[in-house]
Structure 1
Amino acid sequence: MTAPTTTNTHCGDLMTALRHFSAQAGTVERWGAELAARLGGGARLLAAGNGGSAAQAQHLTAELVGRYREDRPPYSALALHADTSSTTAIANDYGVQEVFARQTSAHGRPGDVLMLLSTSGASANLLAAADEARRIGMPVWALTGPSPNPLAAASDEALCVRAPASATVQELHLVAVHMVCEAFDAAVAR
């Protein structure tokens, strides 16, 4: 018998994590529908993450401002980490832990939604943003890695991916992003 290859291990981990994740699919479908109602009423989505999670957050905002599958009106969604001048100035003047909290304070309004993505669920800058959003009156939704973790605890709702590797967590976060967009578009079409 041959030893499993890295590819087989990765695919096996992904398939196992996907089975656990699918039990939480109702959460992302509900998020998509609620996001459609909120953004359709003039609210906006603020999203943030670090590293690969930043890319996933920006992917989500791009799908909402642009389109997911079918043409539809654009909706207000901002990836907070994408404003490099603000993020670097805030990090320099206030410390990296304040980068997203300060932008949430500037851009967030009651009724807007803050979505935070983190494989560890322990990033100080995301935790500070969650605290600021709750102070403002914004719901906080989190996509994280395994629970328990501080970000899941600091959020109104969290979808926590059970997976042994950050790469697998991020892959399922992309699945969640696409499912949110699909549910969003279905709600807009209704």
Structure 2
Amino acid sequence: MDIVSRIRINVQASIDAKISLLADTEALTEFGAAVEAVIACYRNGGRIYIAGNGGSAADAQHLAAEFVSKLARERDALPAEALTVDSSILTAIGNDYGFEHVFSRQLAGKACGNDIFLGISTSGQSPNILQALAQCRAMSIPSIVFCGRDGGKARELAMYAVVVPGTATSTIQELHIVLAHTLCECVEAAIFGE
């Protein structure tokens, strides 16, 4: 396949997935409820913790940066932390307890009742995201998951599960970043005004 054909196929797949998301009332309603939960977290003095693996780890850092710095307007900083960036914590927990606990152990040590957790998993099956969601339940901390495919086990564990259409990891990740930017935009508008 030539390069031009490949880009046409990939752009069309992205467009098709976005159109499917627009028609998915259940996913959009769930996303709206998740956004309201993040707004409530910030209004109550909490912070958002975000985690994912691979490209989703980069998305977690990307979203944390949008909250702490800004998305597109001048405003006060909002507290957010990606649980994917501290190599000493990640390697200590991974070595001592296993990689599946690298996020749940951090939540146990950092999170409190006013906080919220957002896990990003294209499959909804990432063991460390599942453990983090279980930790949130144990601590009565609201949790959100952005996932794809059928939502996996994460769909059952998260308080809010936003399952986007698509089977290709790349397409799912593209939709996740649209959700992340929209989440931040909505929070900015709610906390600081339009």
2:15 matched to 1:12? no
Percent of paired sites with the same residue:
33
Q: Is the 8 A contact 1:40 1:75 kept in 2?
A: no
Q: Is the 8 A contact 1:32 1:182 kept in 2?
A: no
Cα deviation for residue 84 of structure 1 reads 1.3
Q: Is the 8 A contact 2:151 2:161 kept in 1?
A: no
Q: Distance in 1 between matches of 2:52 and 2:118?
A: 9
TM-score, length of structure 2 as denominator length:
0.91
2:110 matched to 1:107? yes
2:141 matched to 1:124? no
Unpaired runs of 5+ in structure 1? none
Cα deviation for residue 78 of structure 1 reads 0.9
Q: Distance in 2 between matches of 1:17 and 1:70?
A: 29
Alignment root-mean-square deviation, CA: 1.7
Q: Is the 8 A contact 1:111 1:137 kept in 2?
A: no
Hey, what does 1:51 align to over in structure 2?
54
Aligned residues: 188
Q: Is the 8 A contact 1:33 1:187 kept in 2?
A: no
Unpaired runs of 5+ in structure 2? none
Q: Is the 8 A contact 2:45 2:114 kept in 1?
A: no
Alignment of 1:1-190 (within 5 A): 5-22=5-22, 23=24, 24-190=27-193
Q: Distance in 2 between matches of 1:5 and 1:164?
A: 20
